[in-house]
Amino acid sequence: MATCGNPNAPAVKFERLPTFAEPTHYDVRLLPCLNQFSFEGLSTVDVTIKEATDVLKVHAQSLLIQSVSLVANPGDAAKTCDTSYDDKLNILSIKLPSVVQPQKVQLIFKFVGELNDKMRGFYRSQYKDKSGSEKFLASTQFESTYARYAFPCFDEPIYKATFDITLEVENHLTALSNMNVVSETPSTGGKRKIVKFATTPKMSSYLVAFAVGELEYISAQTKSGVEMRVYTVPGKKEQGQYSLDLSVKCIDWYNEWFDIPYPLPKCDLIAIPDFSMGAMENWGLVTYREIALLVDPGVTSTRQKSRVALVVAHELAHLWFGNLVTMKWWTDLWLKEGFASFMEYMFVGANCPEFKIWLHFLNDELASGMSLDGLRNSHPIEVEIDNPNELDEIYDSITYAKSNSVNRMLCYYLSEPVFQKGLRLYLKKFQYSNAVTQDLWTALSEASGQNVNELMSGWTQQMGFPVLNVSQRQDGNNRILTVQQRRFISDGGEDSKNSLWQVPITVSVGSSPNDVKARFLLREKQQEFVVEGVAPGEWVKLNSGTTGFYRVEYSDEMLTAMLPDIASRKMPVLDRFGLINDLSALLNTGRVSIAQFVQVAASSANEDEYVVWGAIDEGMSKLLMCAREMSDDTLKSAKQLVIKMFEKSGAELGFAEQSGEDSQKMMLRALVQARLARAGHRPTIEKFNQLFTDFLEKGTPIHPDIRLATFGVVARCGGKEGFDKLMNLRETTTFQEIERQAMIAMSQTPEQPLLAQLFEYGFEKNKVRPQDQLYLFVGTGSTHMGQQYAWKYFCEHIKEFLEKYGGANSSLFQRCLKFAGESFGSEQRAVEFQDYFCNCKELNDTDRQTLARPIGQVCLSSNFFFKFLLQTVEAIRLNARLLESNRSVIETLLKQSNL
């Protein structure tokens, strides 16, 4: 095992700004130059000093501070101040001319900054116009700690203030900020214009935003009179129509649901070509990746269109959760992200029924959150944050998906009207202010009359979630359930912390599968519960509707009783998914074998729901992963088993959309046919190839929902000719979803020279935007060659990755790192992965501390740096464990299947 760094070295000490001073108002004037990639700035900050001091501290980063001066009293001349700078803390210390007693003062900063290419702070974004000419616009990304790149500020969420923004730009450019324009006047000389915006509400610095560029827009108005606009680069505004229509509904719906009207006169949604996050909820100027905002009705897939709806709804929910009420510190990041994530589903579920979004919730949110939280090296929802470099790391499936799922569980437990009442109390009490988690529990307790803090603290303050082991016995017409809880750990090991949760349990039964037969609250490690009126032989299922954030492990007797109603689909779809997904997760623990999973999956031969097939497909992919590591012959036989299971559905579904189908059927068709193609089913591969040929030669459109599967077949089976056709398609399309799908497909090529060509194209020639380069890794795990090539490439080019993404704390860097390694499946690879990052000369101790959770170190001390079996290393070892615990099982299964 590797030892990283000095185990006795103290962790780098970070500190927050002192609390003896706070800003009340900023007047920020910026002059950006898109030709020189720079900006000049002048900022005046009104500061209230609460304790006598001779020094003030603010955040600043990557700024050339030309001067700082102080106005102690209105009418006084500004006095120049000396400054010093701490590069590690990004803190600018301002030495005052003398000790200043509690009072109000003004600080005046003159500075110069760079419009950088790292997608943080005030940065530049590149695109091409219709003629192919290179163009730039400037935009912002200030969350979490990047406002300091644009102007000196108190860059912590608790320091709320009002902002006056003024931008001086070239006459032909559009300037946008959080608020509406109040004046536009020519500059001296007349070559530029000075655009002044209205004063913002009181808000945190990370929510300030501005954008400058050649932009066009479409607009509409809400019932409440809010002006909504969608801005794009020239030529794309019509693709914003779907999001514009949705955003208008969204503001009106949230106004009513929260019972607090949106307080700004306008809300702009802008599509930025280069954007590191999915989107950002800047108050009044919400920024998005183009792919997360723009929709072309004939080209956008159903899945992507539903994601656009969710992202739009998520960001607009933040206008209440996050903007109106803000967490005091990043420890409570979930207060905004978890609730915006939940509200996006509430809105889309109520307003876009065609997406059946609550079905997708189970896989995209609940299962995703459980996947990360099942690791020993997860983190609690409420996670202590001291080091700002740790912040990118917690924008993960715990903060979003687990928080979202826990909110859904609580909403079902309290009922939606009570949950809504509590959220309204919380928002009204803390509007224009800051809050902590306990404030939310207090409001929900007041609304419900229950001790919500006692119920929920275990879910947010401790890592992980429970698995309930359940057995039964019959007593007359009553079923006695014995339920035992323990922490679910993916490696099947014990929980040294002996964690305990209060678990809301719902129960359904075979005679009335759509109803909740009983409700219980599990408080102890083991309890017995009586479900009355259950006939002998009738199945009983826990977690009705899969609303709880926990897994269930049934006795063989209980599981076998459910199989007929899974096969007949009498059991509701949410429960079928939950049952199969639990079994898939239990594979890793060793408590369920692949053979047992295949038995249950085989009972689903008549399944017709996309999300259930998705859960089956996930489990079967684990079989294929293990078989690939065993031998070529074993993999060939495993693929034949997959074909045997999927072939009937594939034949029934076909390839063409049928009249009257809902949106889920085409997605199911793509999933089943794609799995058959990956398993080597020749008729399916030939059909996909024909679809692609007809598309290129005859212009016959490929249905958007089956396009990625088609591209994948061409990349895997079409050799250099197919690869070149996909590359040409990517080069000539103007739509980002097609670009992304072509990249993901090409990364699945089984030919190393082609994969090397793709990586050179994307990374070295920079033909792929940095925000999208992680997709070059996505498909490489489908082959041994791809796995090894991607890992070797990352190691050899880590210096370039660090530079490109702005350091080890970049979420883009960390995601590339994980994609490059986590598909391996042996202890040897886990050690190799860990050793590399421990000894890499391109990483310093600060980088390693930042990466401690995403990679994996040895547990030598209590320092954050020295964690044991952290996420990616743990994922590799889980793959290895799955193989070793199922090697003989797979051999027996394939023999019994005559394969």
Strands (E), 413-461: 433-435
Report phi then psi at 288, rounded to 5. -140, 150
Statement to judge: residues 12 and 87 lie in one domain: yes
pLDDT for position 852: 60
At residue 663 the predicted structure's pLDDT band, cuts being 50, 70 and 90, is confident
Tokens of 312: 């739009």
- Contact present, 694 and 706 (Cβ < 8 Å): no
Highest mean pLDDT among 577-581, 597-601, 808-812: 577-581
Instruction: Give pLDDT, residue 841.
Output: 86
| 727: CATH | 1.25.50.20
Percent of the chain predicted with pLDDT > 90: 83
Domain CATH for 13:
2.60.40.1730
Decide if 365 is inside a domain: no
Residue in 236, 234, 264, 232 with CA at minimum distance from that of residue 251: 264
Domain limits at 121?
1-212
**Residue 618 catalytic?**
no
Rounded to whole angstroms, how far apart are CA atoms 869 and 66?
Answer: 47
| pTM for the whole structure | 0.94
Q: According to the model, what pLDDT value does residue 4 have?
A: 40
- Helix (H, G, I), strand (E, B), or coil: what is residue 171? coil
* Residue 318 labeled ligand binder: yes
- Res 859: pLDDT: 30
Q: Is there a single domain that holds both residue 41 and residue 165?
A: yes
The pLDDT assigned to 829 comes to: 87
Q: Is residue 296 included in any domain, yes or no?
A: no
Quick: pLDDT tens for 843-867: 877 676 666 655 443 332 233 323 3
Dump pLDDT digits (tens) for 114-149.
999 999 999 999 999 988 899 999 999 999 999 999
pLDDT tens per residue, range 746-802:
999 999 999 999 999 999 999 999 999 999 999 998 898 999 999 999 999 999 999
- Residue at 240 is within a domain: no
Q: Do 197 and 178 meet the contact criterion of CB atoms below 8 Å apart?
A: yes
Residue 337 known to bind ligand: yes
List CB contacts of 276: < 8 A, sequence separation 6 or more.
119, 120, 141, 770, 771, 810, 811, 812
List beta partners, residue 49: 21, 103
C-alpha dist (Å) from residue 773 to 648, 727, 855: 37, 15, 20
CA distance 895 to 623: 15
Q: Which one of the listed residues 315, 344, 607, 822 is annotated catalytic?
A: 315
Interior/surface letters 177-190, b for 16+ CB within 10 angstroms, e for the rest = bbbeeeeeeeeeee
Q: Are the beta carbons of 113 and 58 closer than 8 angstroms?
A: no
Contact 342, 254 (CB under 8 A): no
Report the number of secondary-structure helices (H) and strands (E) in the chain. Answer: 27, 29
Among 533, 568, 592, where does a domain finish?
Answer: 592
Beta strands in 14-120 (DSSP E): 21-33, 38-49, 53-59, 63-71, 79-80, 82-86, 91-100, 103-114
Handedness of CA 710, 712, 716, 721 (dihedral sign): positive
- Count CB neighbours of 521 within 10 A: 12
Query: Is 98 buried (19+), middle (13-18) or exposed (0-12) by CB count in 10 A?
Result: exposed
Written as six digits, the tokens of 217 are 């827009």
Per-residue model confidence (pLDDT) at position 856: 42
So what's the pLDDT on residue 305?
97
Q: What does residue 321 show for φ and ψ, rounded to 5 degrees?
A: -90, 95
Paired sense of beta strands 121-128 and 134-141, if any: antiparallel
Query: In terms of domains, do 133 and 49 share one?
Result: yes
Residue that is last in its domain, among 556, 574, 592: 592
Asked whether residue 605 is assigned to any structural domain, the reply reads no
Q: How confident is the model at residue 731 (pLDDT cuts 50, 70, 90)?
A: very high
For 505-520, the pLDDT digits (tens) are: 999 999 999 999 999 9
Residue range 31-77, pLDDT digits in tens: 999 999 999 999 999 999 999 999 999 999 999 999 999 999 998 99
Residue 867: what pLDDT? 38
The residue among 194, 212, 230 that closes a domain is: 212
165 pLDDT above the threshold of 80:
yes
Which pLDDT value is given to residue 865? Answer: 28
Amino acid at 119: M
CB neighbour class for 116 (10 Å; exposed up to 12, middle 13-18, buried from 19): middle
Residue 891 reports pLDDT greater than 80: yes
CA distance 700 to 727: 19
Of the chain, the end-to-end C-alpha distance in Å amounts to 40
pLDDT band for position 12 (50/70/90)?
low
Beta-carbon contacts of residue 394 (< 8 Å; ≥ 6 apart): 330, 333, 379, 383, 385
Q: Tell me: pLDDT of 5 over 50.
A: no
* Cis omega (within 30 of 0) for bond into 144: yes
For residue 213, pLDDT beyond 90 = yes
Q: How many structural domains does the chain have?
A: 3
Within 10 angstroms of residue 111's Cβ, the number of other Cβ atoms is 21
51 is in an annotated binding site: no
pLDDT bin (cut points 50, 70, 90) of residue 388 is: low
Phi-psi category of residue 706: left, alpha or beta, with phi > 0 → left and psi -120 to 50 → alpha:
alpha
- For residue 2, what pLDDT is reported? 38
Say if residue 578 is in the same domain as residue 646. Answer: no
Which pLDDT belongs to residue 857? 31
Q: Which tokens go with 234?
A: 């020239």
Is 546 a domain residue?
A: yes
Q: Is 499 left (phi over 0), alpha (psi -120 to 50) or beta?
A: beta
Shared domain for 52 and 110, answered yes or no, is yes
Specify whether the CB–CB gap between 262 and 254 falls below 8 A.
yes
Distance CA 387, CA 399 (A): 17
Nearest residue to 506 (alpha-carbon basis) of 461, 470, 477: 470
Cα–Cα dist 616/865, whole Å: 38
> Which residues are within 8 A (CB) of 295 and not within 5 positions of it... i.e. 6 or more apart?
239, 241, 242, 243, 304, 305, 308
Residues 646 and 565 in one domain: no
What tens digit of pLDDT does each residue of 536-547 get?
999 999 999 999
Q: What is the mean pLDDT of the segment spanning 623-652?
A: 94
- Determine the pLDDT at residue 854: 53
Is the pLDDT reported for residue 868 higher than 50?
A: no
Decide: residue 592, CB within 10 A, 0-12 exposed, 13-18 middle, 19+ buried. Answer: buried
Q: Same domain, yes or no, for 53 and 111?
A: yes
Tokens of 691: 């679809």
Q: Within this chain, do residues 586 and 706 fall inside the same structural domain, yes or no?
A: no
Closest CA to 24 of 56, 5, 48: 48
For residue 811, pLDDT over 90 is answered with no
List the Cα angle 267/269/273 in 5-degree steps.
155
DSSP 553-591: EE-HHHHHHHHHHHHTT-S-HHHHHHHHHHHHHHHHHTS
Is residue 559 domain-shared with residue 708, that is, in the same domain?
no
583 and 646 share one domain: no
Q: What φ, ψ does residue 469 adopt, rounded to 5°?
A: -90, 120
* Interatomic CA distance for residues 501 and 587, integer angstroms: 23
Are 72 and 105 contacting, i.e. CB atoms less than 8 angstroms apart? yes
Of 14 and 85, the one with more pLDDT: 85
Q: Within a domain: residue 401?
A: no
Is the CB of residue 88 less than 8 Å from the CB of residue 56? no
- Tell me: pLDDT of 325 over 90: yes
pLDDT for 724 equals: 98
Scan for tokens 């074998």, then name that residue: 593
Same-domain pairing of 557 and 670: no
Q: Is residue 628 part of a domain?
A: no
CATH number, domain at 544? 2.60.40.1910
pLDDT(392) > 80:
no
Is residue 250 assigned to a domain?
no
User: Which whole number is the average pLDDT over 401-428?
Assistant: 98
Query: What's the CA gap between 816 and 832, in Å, rounded?
Result: 17
Q: Is 744 helix (H, G, I), strand (E, B) or coil?
A: helix
Nearest to 247 by CA among 300, 313, 156: 313
One domain, residues 657 and 751: yes
CA distance 149 to 111: 11
Share of the chain above pLDDT 70, in %: 95
